[in-house]
Amino acid sequence: MTPRFELLAGGFGLVEGPRVDDEGRLYFSDARGGGVYCRQPTGEVETVVPKRRGVGGIAIHADGGIVISGRDISHVRDGSTRSVFRREDVPGFNDLFTDAAGGVWVGSQMADPFAKGPKAAPGELFRIGADGTAEALYGDVGLTNGIGFSPDGTRLYHSDSARGHVIGHALDEFGRCSARSVFVETKGGAPDGLAVDEEGCVWVALYGGGCVARYTPDGKLDRRLEVPARAVASVSFGGSDRRDLYVATGDNLDDPALRGSIFRTRVDVAGLPAPKARV
């Protein structure tokens, strides 16, 4: 059965980082065109952070406002911006996710993935603790994208778009990563953003593939949701029952003039809650 996708907003460059807060406000970015936006439940779209480019990930902060990636990791609240984490040797950070303690896990992006020229150096995955300390957990990520955890917190998933696969790691009680493996090699599109549901299945946006793919915890393809776009960039769950699936894209096949768009559909399994950031 083909899902019904509701168009929520369009006319952007590359929509990324969809995240819904407790009041039903949908935050998202335009990674290429610049800016972070908020769509109110009434449908109005407001600018939260003007012009900022390269924002690939957004988290809701426990004290209000949002945490965003880009040239650094920043907490934006009521028009004020506080830098949380920056590395002089890292030109930017892409997708991010939060753990149960409110820490932020984010991948470094060593060059503009759309720029022509030599291949960029691989990036790393960083964990920023609620106390503000940060550490690099591992490297050798060709192009960092979606990040998520299994329901019991013992498994980490991380999209590497350049290599066409999602990395898997075992996590211990201290957040240390081990037993690196390829969770799944995607077909028909590069793995971009991802989200995990209550059954432990991983929903992966396939950039260039026109769909979101759901994989079981053992890496088997369960289903593909065809999206009215080819450049499917990111996914997240929301709604009162967390069965609303938000899909961010870089195009819109139904109306090309809308360019980068964000859609919503309903699915039969609730997504895991996204913990609030406390950094």
Helix (H, G, I), strand (E, B) or coil at 257: helix
- Give me 259's structure tokens: 């360019």
Strand partners, 108: 93
- Give me 26's structure tokens: 């949908």
Contact 73, 65 (CB under 8 A): no
Contact 169, 138 (CB under 8 A): yes
**Side-chain-facing half-sphere of 153: CA atoms under 13 Å:** 12
Residues 6+ apart with CB under 8 A from 1: none
Q: Residue 73's closest CA among 85, 58, 82?
A: 85
Q: 218 an active-site residue?
A: no
- Give me 260's structure tokens: 């980068």
Residues 6+ apart with CB under 8 A from 233: 14, 15, 16, 31, 192, 193, 205, 207, 248, 249, 250
Q: Residue 223's closest CA among 255, 199, 250?
A: 199
**Rounded to an integer, what distance in angstroms lies between the CA atom of residue 76 and that of residue 1?**
40
Active site residue: 95, 99, 192, 251, which one? Answer: 192
Residues annotated as catalytic (active site), given as ranges: 192
